[in-house]
Chain A
Amino acid sequence: MTEKLLEIKGLCAGVAEGGKEIIKGLDLSVKAGETHAIMGPNGAGKSTLSYVLTGKPDYVVTGGTMHFCGHDLTSLKPEERAALGIFLSMQAPVEIPGVTTQNFLKHAVNAVRKYNNLPELDAAEFLKLLRTKAKEFEVSAEMLKREINVGFSGGEKKRLEILQLSLLQPKLAILDEADSGLDIDALKIVANGVNQWRAADNALLIITHHIDLLRQIKPDFVHIYADGRIVKTGDMALAEELETGGYKNYLDEAQ
């Protein structure tokens, strides 16, 4: 029997300030070993879903439930959700001046290890791990010494996100527009990194409105998200159909 990782039932959520509801009764169930893609038009609130799942303070849950490996997510802080194994590759990773990439990564890896009662890695152990992984994602030693995300190109930022995915080894990875702003080569590195990480005991949730990344990652399920809900679920064929027909039919359906 495959393990149920994420279970969302009737989720309603919105912006904390102003209270505008964006997610309006969303159901989603993700089992270990599965890859789900959520597709939808710009401005439908796809990113909101990723933020609500990871506990960004700007958003509030107003109804429904979300459970991750049996834990009620609404009662957990963002760092606890991360340490339990939810990773979000962000659409626009923020710059943190003064903090070198390498130092940041060490803090992150050890914070997660500490939470899970694993011994923290010392500087030498960490560097060894980092060097191996960095090579895979074509992240140079020079880049690791730079302040995290500061002055990074779009491609560099996304590569660094996937490097973090590989370092932190989460159970559920959410890729929010991981393909935006990437050229073909960079897209390949990202897709390869994700594919390498995929295993029978983890799951992937891809949020996108492009088909390019999906063609390389090949999801098991494709959901169409519109007006705060999943309005249709299918497989890769559904994504290909969207590529030609667009979202228009489904938007009408949602209303």
Chain B
Amino acid sequence: MAQKPEITDSSGDKYKYGFTTEIEADTVPCGLNEDIIRLISAKKKEPDWLLERRLKAYRHWLTMKEPHWAKLQYDAVDFQALSYYAAPKQKVRPQSLKEVDEKLLETYNKLGIPLKEQEALAGVVAVDAVFDSVSVATTYRAKLAEQGIIFCSISEAVQNHPDLVQKYLGSVVPYTDNFYACLNSAVFTDGSFVYIPKGVKAPMELSTYFRINAQNTGQFERTLIVAEDDSYVSYLEGCTAPQRDENQLHAAIVEIVVMNNAEVKYSTVQNWYPGDKDGKGGVYNFVTKRAACRGINSKISWTQVETGSAVTWKYPSCILQGDNSVGEFYSVAITNNRQQADTGTKMIHLGKNTRSKIISKGISAGFSNQTYRGLVDIAQNARNARNYSQCDSLLIGSTCGSHTVPYIRNRSKSAVLEHEATTSKISAEQLFYCQQRGIKEEEAVGLIVNGFCKEVMQKLPMEFAIEAGKLINISLEGSVG
């Protein structure tokens, strides 16, 4: 739709009128129905097969009920009140960092985020920053393309690599999987696509590029990673700085396919807006992440540091299908104030000699509530499968909650399963000891918490780990005293 000429006039009532016109031109009306889905698909110039999949998912979603088994309490989401096409909200976009919330900037500075990146994170329209990141992106992409690595948005992949997308999209998380995944399958807007060809080891961590560019992927993000035989990639999702975001509901899907002797390392630092001290606002994060180790000797390693969101519902899982395949899950989840997190993993052992390891560290403070929920499932034919699970909880104060719900389903006599769990509390004695040696209470908490989750933090790529360590301290500010 063409913009009306009034839009260029930035004075008085005329501007308002022009502005409204622009909004109408760039967004689809609130609500969800087949017409909306057709509209999204048309806007993205998608092939018929993808539209058909979206519609199929939508029709199935109508028959599904929102799950309530997690230990989470939140106001019901009105799915008809949302707009399903993520247009940039120009009305609230700040023009410079001067207009950005001081607290947000303070956090960026504490984390040592470079200025240009701060602008990108805060959603500032900064022409040079955009140019800068585009050129960086192009350089990286060219370098990756030399080795046949495809790294682009999922929308581009649909246009340029339809065969790959059609083959793998939904092959790990089918649209029928769960309520949120089904919704995502119907309405996803964008996300990332990674393809590592046979025998290729990605020469860099696919991160810097992503960190700047994957903004505004919308609330229904879709990521697909395919690692062919003998390949390797380390992928970093998210960023350590809090992201300015108006979307209340996030329902993303990440699918990973790992073939023979291939390895994928997927690291996440999730720091969406957690809501205020009293639990007002904040993101609902309902994410389905799953990797299929299809090939023999394949390996997937999930590492997550979850500090954000008001409500987190997330279980990055591994389907260990290929013989000798390995699944790992390393998690640090921190909840403060009124945050709630129900997170864990599923290790599905199908192949012989498959091994999995779960290391979960949960830290609760304030009035927050946290649950580790995990499943270790050993199929009958998964001979000599092994799992080691360790779930440790650390409580700060006496008004928070921590729960551990480990499910085990074993149908193989040869399986070896180990589970260890501990719950501890930062005691007043420990804090006083630190203070008596000159260490401030908050620094002491940071020291103890960082020590508590060291095992997981060590799994993060170096640069990321340093920022994530600082982030932990920031997330726990105000949790004592």
Contact = CB atoms under 8 A, between A and B. Distances in A.
B428 A88 contact: no
A169 to B, nearest CB: 12
A82 B429 CA distance: 16
B435 A78 contact: yes
Question: Which of B428, B432, B433, B436: most chain A Cβ within 10 A?
Answer: B436
Interface string B435-464: 111111101000110111010000000000
Contacts of B454: 98
A98 B428 CA distance: 16
Given A58-B428, A94-B427, A82 B447 contact: no
Nearest to B394: A98
B424 interface: yes
B430 to A, nearest CB: 5
Contacts of A115: 438
A103 B447 contact: yes
Contacts of A90: 433, 436
Nearest to A51: B432
Interface stretch (A104-112, A205-213, A224-232): A104-112
A97 B443 contact: no
Given A56-B432, A94-B427, A107-B443, A82 B451 contact: no
A147 interface: yes
A18 B258 CA distance: 62
A111 B437 contact: yes
Interface of A: 54-58, 77-79, 82-83, 87-88, 90, 93-94, 96-100, 103-104, 107-108, 111-112, 115, 147, 164, 168
A104 B427 CA distance: 16
A35 B214 CA distance: 65
A69 B441 CA distance: 24
A37 B450 CA distance: 39
B439 A96 contact: no
Size class of the contact patch on chain B: 20 to 34
A111 B442 CA distance: 12
A78 B447 contact: no
Nearest to A82: B438
Given A54-B436, A96-B433, A168-B438, 17 more contacts: A78-B436, A82-B436, A82-B438, A94-B430, A94-B433, A96-B430, A96-B434, A96-B451, A97-B452, A98-B451, A99-B447, A103-B447, A104-B447, A111-B437, A111-B440, A112-B437, A112-B438
Contacts of A56: 432
Contacts of A107: 434, 437, 439, 443, 447
Nearest to B455: A98
A119 to B, nearest CB: 15
Contacts of A147: 451
B448 A99 contact: yes
16 contacts: A55-B435, A79-B438, A79-B440, A87-B436, A96-B448, A96-B451, A97-B452, A98-B448, A98-B451, A99-B451, A100-B451, A104-B437, A104-B447, A111-B438, A115-B438, A168-B438
Contact of B428 (A57, A87, A96, A108): A57
B435 A77 contact: yes
A124 to B, nearest CB: 18
A78 B451 contact: no
Nearest to B435: A78
Contact of A79 (B429, B441, B447, B452): B441
A152 to B, nearest CB: 13
A213 B435 CA distance: 27
